[in-house]
Amino acid sequence: MRPGTADDLPRLMRLWKAEVAAGRQDMLPNERTLRRMLARFDWEAKSRVVEDDGRMVGSVLVMSRPSPDGILTNVYAAGESEVFLAAVEWGVRLSRAAGASVAQVFVGKGQGDGLGAIGLTLVRPWLRMDRNLDRLPEVAAVPGYMLADATTVPGGSWERMFNRTFADHWRFAPRGEGEIIGDHAPELCLMALTSTGGSPSGITIGEVEDYGDDPRPQPVGLVSSVGTLPEHRRRGLATWLVVEMLRRLRDAGARSASLYVDGQSPMKAYDVYRKIGFEVATEAEVWEATFS
């Protein structure tokens, strides 16, 4: 094992593609997105790669963020059986040494063999739901509300809305404005506001991403950050926002749509999506190590 470097990225991409092909992971962002995500990543301290005869056979990257539950890390490990487990173990140890409260590992359904033995517990399913974009449901505007996007909504509002609507989401971790809307197309950052007073009530963010040889019609319109403030829930806002987002993603060139949802969402968010035509396409498992 040695620390990875940004120059390893092309070889890591090949390794990670093999993970998707083997069903251990669900999908791989394209290289441009990964480079953006890893622009300020501390490779030396937070990554390791495993080589065998010059071939890259394993990797682990650890990303962390503060949350109300303490520091939360995501351990992104790749490789076959023993290599994978060794990579996870390295990431979990680093997480604990860095003072994390929780280290999370996402794996394909049924792919978590051996994780229990190294101190992780299977905590919940994580679903990817897909939908085609051929015929979108007709959804009427919710009386008393209007929709706006980042062409008119002032900066700063997205961060506030994301952090307030997601405050009761499992393992919520606050995010900054750049991370939420970043370089997203402004018309794919949607907000519901009250018609009188223009008070922000719900949001969703979309992006169009090409996943290469993935079986979904490409590019895929990814719907994320769907959130309604508690006092505005159960009025149809999330349904309206997501259907409008699907229309905009299709206009932006997407040929299918996907979103991710907590399989144990207490607000049953998956039912909201199911009602507008999304179906579960893949199921991942979330494993966690927790440290006192």
Q: Where do contacts with ligand COA occur on this chain (CB under 6 A)?
A: 165-166, 168-169, 202, 226-228, 233-239, 261, 265, 267-269, 271-272, 275
Minimum distance from residue 140 beta carbon to ligand COA (Å): 10
CA-wise closest residue to 102 among 43, 42, 62, 48: 62
Minimum distance from residue 256 beta carbon to ligand COA (Å): 18
Residue that the structure tokens 């949607």 belong to:
190
DSSP E strands: which ranges in the chain?
47-52, 55-67, 70-79, 102-108, 121-132, 145-149, 189-194, 200-209, 220-228, 256-262, 279-290
Residue number, 98 or 243, with CB nearest to ligand COA: 243
Residue number, 31 or 168, with CB nearest to ligand COA: 168
Minimum distance from residue 176 beta carbon to ligand COA (Å): 18
Residue number, 16 or 278, with CB nearest to ligand COA: 278
Minimum distance from residue 42 beta carbon to ligand COA (Å): 29
Tokens of 40: 């300020």
Backbone conformation region of residue 132, classed left if phi is above 0, alpha if psi is from -120 to 50, else beta: beta
Minimum distance from residue 1 beta carbon to ligand COA (Å): 35
Residue number, 15 or 180, with CB nearest to ligand COA: 180
User: What percent helix, strand, coil does the chain show, rounded to 5?
Assistant: 30, 35, 35
Residue number, 5 or 199, with CB nearest to ligand COA: 199
Residues 6+ apart with CB under 8 A from 17: 28
